[in-house]
Structure 1
Amino acid sequence: MRTNLELEEARELILSRVHRAASEEVALTAAYGRVLARDLYSPLAHPPFDRSPLDGYAYRAEALSAGPLRLKVVSEIPAGSWPERTILAGEAAKIFTGAPLPPGANCVVRMEDTVSEGGDVVVKRPVLPGANVVPEGDELKRGDFLLGQGTRLSPAAVGLLAAFGLDRVPVRRKPRVGVFSSGSELTEAGEPLAPGKIYNSNSFTLLGLLLAAGCEVVQKPLVPDRQAETLQALRDLEDVDMVVTTGGASVGDYDLLPRSLEAYGCEILFWKVRLKPGTPACVGEKDGRLYFSLSGNPAAALVTFELLVRPALRLCAGLADPLGRKFAVRMAGGFAKGGRQRRFLRAKAVMRESTVWADPEGAQGSGILKSMVGRQLLVDIPGGHGPVEEGEILEAYWMGEWED
């Protein structure tokens, strides 16, 4: 069993064992948040015809006129209709936003720059040929690249597919993830709290993280610190892509997860990562299924979820960038503790003069879940760094999914 890995080495090992979810085709209405399984190309030009971007009059401009033009209005073209005739010199068609440009016309003048007089229109400010015309294929031409494999389908992306008439889309199946928390000290919310017990929060945190990441979640009841029940919980989750557990990952007599994973037949990829909080994380693999055993300390579990589990989920889901984004931040506050071990501070993202500042205000203990509430950043403090100074520039990860 490999122990005390650097974060980058641990993630590389994890990602080498991840299997991408199979692809499926879903209705466009079910595609929000899903990940494209292959590249898509435009089946038609957009817009599919020359169109007007405003309400006005379409006519044939020869050259810029110095004075007003009087034109005979010979037709009217609402959006959704098709021009009935060609526009000749000296004629105009009343046209509305989104309507196709009639044959013969090469410009549109704004309605505000005209005066209607009987069956004629007087153009007070003539325009040049091509003015106020959106040409066919202005956004994309038929066969142009539309969206790439590995793209998470945002509302705008789904709208784009709809604009090209696509009603079904090839996506990756949602990762199916099994979850349970272990610990004989745990009690479910809503139940009486006996002496020596604490309420289970990790199951709720993990459930929310996984649902927000676009996963299908299979959640098991609390598991006591007994190997028989732990092994049964693992056997009950053999129809998932990954399993994530919290608690029982450390070195105590009742920390059974690493031993239970071995007894269950997992290959233990590693145990312990050189970071704080979350050192005792253990990851195993069996039958192409990854098992993540995370600390029972709530903040530590969430930090290692972001750093170890989320990249695996992103790769399984088919996203193009499994590791997410890391970028420079300036510290809006200090952190007095130094240390030999690499540390990740939870911090709030604050914008100041177009710069991202990281505010680590508040306690940073591994069991303090409140340190994660309202926080968007994990600030990477290298091992041996010493105290963090206000104004110092460091690197940070954005927690959760970064929407492109």
Structure 2
Amino acid sequence: MSLLPVAEAQARILALGRPVAAETVSLNAAAGRFAAADVTARRTQPAADLSAMDGYALRFAELPGPWTVVGESAAGAGLDTPLAPGEAARIFTGAPLPAGADTVLLQEEAERDGARLILAGEGPPRTGAHVRAAGTDFIAGGTLIAAGALITPARIGLAAVGGHGTLPVRRRLRVALISTGDELVPAGQPVSGTRLPSSNAPMLAALLGGLAVDVIDAGIVPDRLDALAAAFARVVDADIVVTTGGASVGDRDLVRPALAAAGATIDFWRIAMKPGKPLMAGRLGDAVMVGLPGNPVSAFVTANLFLLPLVRGMQGAADPLPRIMPATLAGPLPATGVRAEYLRGRWDGGRAMPLSGQDSAALASLSAAELLIARAPHQAALPAGAAVEILPIG
């Protein structure tokens, strides 16, 4: 079986996951979700011409004055009567301009004696100075948040000002994590001999923590077909089932045969990438099944490239794939082979520095990494200063 290119594997895994149902939630519960429909403004902002500064509302054509101050306009309580020629109104930031006014004179450029107001500085430079015109932020009926956009804190504020108290989003996903391997023991428990603390499940749960996901930790499953079958039966309500380990070609790599026995269909297996070749994906009942490698670095890299995009896609993200950025190398890199490579690196003076220790089980170098340097297959060696593409990680 030939190895699948990364981009094709990403497209196929995204096609496996259909967006989940939409629901309406309060603004306080919407952060981190993706909009299930366009959110349009129910009002215009600003609803009227507002002052951007404290000062005096007047007609620009009447500069340099003098004027007679006939009242004041405050936020939420404007001046009801229009200004006649030669009149001005005290005005505060966020207050509506009285009818007849078109400009604001800053208070530090004004001098007042009772009701008499005169210019005491350079004055406003143009008509409309220090005024926030009606509709300059958005107008009623305009799109505030496009379908598929991530609901960020700023977008929540925008929706609130636009007249919304709730938002349409995709429901939370249920993601089950199954760690396979006779050598694993739960994190924090005593370890003897060649056994290992299980690190993939807590690492992946943390990686999913920024998304609208409910993680189901199905525990550690030994390398036995009956144990794997029982584990799959326990997570039938999950939207995504993630296994780590057991997906390679060894005698004890039993995830594939266990999935076949459970009635799963495998869409693809093995990717032309390093680390992370033994990746598989398919469907297990109504769930998308993702088999990640057991080595922690491989699991981390493939989760960033495949699992997180799948989660974002099923939550309705318009652009679920990881963000690729251009960067400049701070150190040299050797030529690549037949697989794409994702090298751990860090920022060094604004440049991407490859880390030493790129072994797929080396968690110490992963913990120090700030980015992955992405390289295509069959690339020549690169010197320091060469252009590369990177994926930010955290």
For the criterion TM > 0.5, the same-fold answer is yes
Which SS does the other structure have where 2:16 is aligned?
Answer: coil
The aligned counterpart of 2:35 is 36
Any conservation in 1 of the 2:46–2:134 contact (CA below 8 Å)? yes
Q: Determine the structure 2 residue equivalent to 1:237.
A: 235
Which of 66, 72, 75 is matched with 1:70 structurally?
66
Q: CA deviation at 1:92?
A: 1.3
Q: Which stretch of structure 1 is more off in the superposition, 272-281 or 118-127?
A: 118-127
CA distance in 2, matches of 1:21, 1:370: 37
Helix, strand or coil for the counterpart of 1:222? Answer: strand
What is the rounded CA distance, in whole Å, between the counterparts of 1:135 and 1:392 in structure 2?
Answer: 48
Question: How far does the alpha carbon of each residue in 1:101-133 deviate from its partner, in whole angstroms, 9 at most, with x for none?
Answer: 111212110000011212222222444432222
CA contact under 8 A between 2:221 and 2:227: conserved in structure 1?
A: yes
More deviation, 278-287/96-105: 278-287
Secondary structure at the aligned position of 2:327 is classed as: strand
* Superposed counterparts of 1:238-253, under 5 Å: 238-253=236-251
Deviation per residue, 1:303-336 (Å, 9 max, x gap) = 1111121221121111111223223322111234
Offset at 1:282? 1.6
In structure 2, runs of 5+ residues without a counterpart are none
Task: Supply the AA of the counterpart residue of 2:295.
Answer: N
Mapped partners of 1:381, 1:130: distance in 2 = 53
Contact 2:236 2:285 in 1 (8 A): no
Q: Is the 8 A contact 1:272 1:280 kept in 2?
A: yes
1:377 to 371, 374, 384: 371
1:95 is aligned to 91
Matched, 1:311 2:309: yes
Q: Assess if the C-alpha contact under 8 Å between 1:115 and 1:122 holds in 2.
A: yes
Match of 1:167 in 2: 165
Partner letter of residue 33 of structure 2? R
Letter matched to residue 121 of structure 1: L
Using the TM superposition, give the Cα deviation of residue 382 of structure 1 relative to its aligned residue in structure 2, in angstroms. Answer: 2.5
1:104 maps to: 100
Q: Which amino acid aligns with 1:376?
A: E
Q: Pick from 384, 388, 392 the counterpart of residue 390 of structure 1.
A: 384
Equivalent residue of 2:325, what SS? strand
Seq. identity, %: 36
Are 1:60 and 1:88, in contact at CA under 8 Å, matched by a contact in 2? no
CA RMSD of superposed structures (Å):
1.8
**Residue 183 of structure 1 corresponds to which residue in structure 2?**
181
Q: Does 1:365 align with 2:359?
A: yes
SS of aligned partner of 1:4: coil
Q: 1:226 aligns with which of 224, 227, 241?
A: 224
Contact 2:41 2:163 in 1 (8 A): no
Q: 291, 297, 314: which one pairs with 1:293? A: 291
Write the distance in 2 (CA, Å) between the matches of 1:202 and 1:281: 15
TM-fit CA distance, 1:52: 0.3
C-alpha separation between the residues in 2 aligned to 1:324 and 1:250? 25
Stretch of structure 1 that moved more, 131-140 or 339-348: 339-348
| 1:58/1:109 contact within 8 Å kept | yes
Contact 1:333–1:361 at 8 Å: present in 2 too? no
The runs of at least 4 aligned residues of structure 1 exceeding 6 Å deviation read: none
CA contact (8 A) 2:225 2:254 kept: yes
Per mean C-alpha deviation after superposition, the further-off stretch among 186-195 and 236-245 is 186-195
Find the aligned partners of 1:61 and 1:384 in 2 and give their Cα distance: 67
- The C-alpha deviation readout for 1:192-219, integer Å capped at 9, x for no partner, is 1122211111111010011123322111
Aligned partner letter, 1:34: R
Deviates more, 1:34-43 or 1:389-398: 389-398
Equivalent position of 1:346 in the other structure: 344
- The residue identity in structure 2 corresponding to 1:33 is G
Structure 1 stretch displaced more, 112-121 or 281-290 = 281-290
Give the deviation of 1:338 after TM superposition.
4.5
* Closer, same or farther: CA 81–5 of 1 in aligned 2, 3 Å: same
Q: Distance in 1 between matches of 2:290 and 2:151?
A: 27
TM-score, normalised on structure 1?
0.92
| Correspondences of 1:140-289 after superposition (within 5 Å) | 140-289=138-287
Work out the CA distance in 2 between the residues paired with 1:252 and 1:126: 81
One-letter code aligned to 1:85: T
Paired position in structure 1 for 2:113: 117
Aligned length: 392
Q: Which runs of 5+ in 1 are unaligned?
A: none
Helix, strand or coil at the partner of 2:71: strand
Distance 1:178 1:76 in 2: 62
The 3-state SS of whatever aligns with 1:74 is strand
Residues of 2 paired with 1:61 and 1:283: CA distance? Answer: 68
1:333 corresponds in structure 2 to 331
CA-to-partner distance for each residue in 1:374-397, whole Å, 9 max, x for gaps? Answer: 433322223233544322222233
1:11 is matched with: 10
Q: Which residue of structure 1 lines up, in the alignment, with residue 23 of structure 2?
A: 24
Q: Which residue of 1 aligns with 2:45?
A: 46
Amino acid at match of 2:115: G
Question: In the alignment, which residue of structure 2 is the partner of 1:86?
Answer: 82
1:96/1:271 CA distance change after superposition, 3 Å: same
TM-score w.r.t. the length of structure 2 is 0.94
Q: Would the alpha carbon gap of residues 101 and 182 (structure 1) be closer, same or farther in structure 2, given more than 3 Å must change? A: same
